Structure 1
Amino acid sequence: IPLAVKTRDKAREKGDLVQGRFLDTYSNLTLKTLSMLGWTRRFCPQAHFMAKVDDDVLFNPSALLHFLNKSRNPYEQGDLYLGRVHLHVAPDRDPDSKHYLPSGAYPPSVFPDYCSGTAYVLSRSALLKISLAASASPLSTPLPPEDVFVGLCARAAGVMPSHCPLFSGGPSVPYGRCCYQAMVSIHHIPPRDMLHYWADVHSPPPCSWLNVRASLGICKVRAMLGTALGLEQGL
């Protein structure tokens, strides 16, 4: 059965698909994000926050709300662009790379700081400002990576990214129940593991504060060791 027919049938059955008028390719992820921002701005005026999450990311809304409640009033007015912030990243000038961005499309030697596209959160006010900046921004060819583009629009709109260490944006974080209970997002998780981890993390009893802190430290060390041994790229 052609993919378009399957998609149409699923949309009719569930009523929860939003489609854009472009090919669903890696190079068009920026267009997909623009569609997401525009749709949310138009149809979700009551939403205080929007989370953009990749499909290979285990996302924990309860951990996000816990972090927001500890760090700020989650319903206060203000700009929030939250995730794992990448600092001083240089454009990829390799023509053979899927991240290739020639100097003609983006002349500066570094990007503005931006949140990893694996998962980030925007408050309503930040979403409106970034969406409007994106609408006014000329689209280069090729397009910048989608998370870089959001960072560029955020800079143009005067919205600064906020780093949260509970977002993972690099290698796999080895599973630990208490660690995953505290993390907001974990990258590189297969669908089958997501179901297993989600059930285990949300089963009683909850981890104590001490177990969470210890488990987070162990997970981070194991992830860094994996990077040092060449098992993963970046953290």
Structure 2
Amino acid sequence: MLLDVPDKCGGADESAQVFLLLVIKSIPDNFERREVLRKTWATERLHNGVQIRRIFISGMTGSGFERERQNRLLELEQNEYNDILQWDFRDTFYNLTLKQVLFLEWMERNCPKARFLLNGDDDVFANTDNMVEYLQGLRDNDGSKHLFTGHVLKKLGPIRSPGSKYYVPVQVQESNSYPLYCGGGGFLLSGYSAMVIYNMSSAAELHVDLPEVLMEVAEE
């Protein structure tokens, strides 16, 4: 691991104090996006008496001098904001699932009792105040039961066109349909569901092309 924030949630034992953990997928070059989010919906704060915390998760891009430059800039950014997790893998579309699983591993170690998570991209806007109020209004679920909610996508399957960014060959995914899943731009889940998915992910095939599909497969 290249960049870590082990105390982001106050330590594993105190992590239940984090009501909503914002887990935002990013890449090293997207500094401006991260800056906007830090100043808007991803600001770390108290809302309705509960804590909102923020983490950006990233791999590496570029090569040679460019990679070194990006990583150095990311280190400087980390020194200022202390909100980036970075791993030593090539951050590509096909490694998004790896990024998701590595985050869940980090969560299990450093933030296992966080109540709820918003898992999303760095190019979306979200009303996190409303999310907190929605989650506080749930009956009989303080994060210790299953919750997985977002934009449900139905009757979709792998793209078979080799020219597509989303191409998935039959050797990787035999079935022509995916289970119901929430779009990866942003979805809410409970800390309990996140840990169940992490524990089940070892039994799922990591070459599932969309991380949000893996989340559903692992939960089934």
Kindly tell me: are residues 139 and 46 of structure 1, through their superposed partners in 2, closer, same or farther at Cα, counting changes over 3 Å? closer
Task: State the alpha-carbon separation in 2 of the partners of residues 41 and 122 from structure 1.
Answer: 15
C-alpha change, 1:69 and 1:5, in structure 2 (3 Å) is closer
RMSD, matched Cα:
1.8
State the distance in 1 between where 2:86 and 2:179 align: 30
Which has the larger Rg?
1
Note if contact 1:80-1:122 (Cα within 8 Å) is conserved in structure 2. Answer: yes
Structure 2 CA distance for aligned equivalents of residues 124 and 151 of structure 1: 15
* Whole-Å separation in 2 of the counterparts to 1:148 and 1:76: 22
Using the TM superposition, give the Cα deviation of residue 93 of structure 1 relative to its aligned residue in structure 2, in angstroms.
0.7
Rounded Cα–Cα distance in structure 2 between residues aligned with 1:134 and 1:6: 32
Q: Which whole-Å CA distance do the structure 2 matches of 1:5 and 1:77 have between them? A: 39
Partner of 2:166 in structure 1?
99
Mark the CA change 1:77 to 1:8 in structure 2 (over 3 Å): closer, same or farther: closer
How far 1:65 sits from its partner (Å)?
2.4
Quote the residue 1:72 is aligned against: 139
Supply the distance in 2 between the matched residues of 1:8 and 1:66 (Cα, whole angstroms).
34
* SS of equivalent to 1:122: strand
1:118 to 176, 185, 190: 185
Question: Structure 1 residue runs of 4+, over 4 Å off?
Answer: none
Higher normalized helix content (fraction of residues): 1
- Residue 101 to residue 128, structure 1, CA distance change in 2 (3 Å): same
Matched residue SS, 2:186? strand
How many residues align structurally?
153
Local SS of the residue matching 2:158: coil
- Counterpart of 1:218 in structure 2 is none
C-alpha separation between the residues in 2 aligned to 1:149 and 1:118? 15
In structure 2, list runs of 5 or more residues that go unmatched: 1-65
Q: Which runs of 5+ in 1 are unaligned?
A: 156-235
Which structure shows the higher strand fraction? 2
Q: What is the aligned-residue identity percentage? A: 30
Deviations 1:141-169 (A, max 9, x none): xx4122122222222xxxxxxxxxxxxxx
Q: So what's the TM-score if we normalise by structure 2?
A: 0.64
1:150 is the counterpart of 2:150: no
SS at 2:84 equivalent: coil
Residue 42 of structure 1, aligned match among 109, 129, 142: 109
User: Deviation of residue 73 (structure 1)?
Assistant: 4.0
Provide the rounded CA distance (Å) in 1 between the counterparts of 2:196 and 2:143: 16
| 1:71 Cα offset (Å) | 4.4
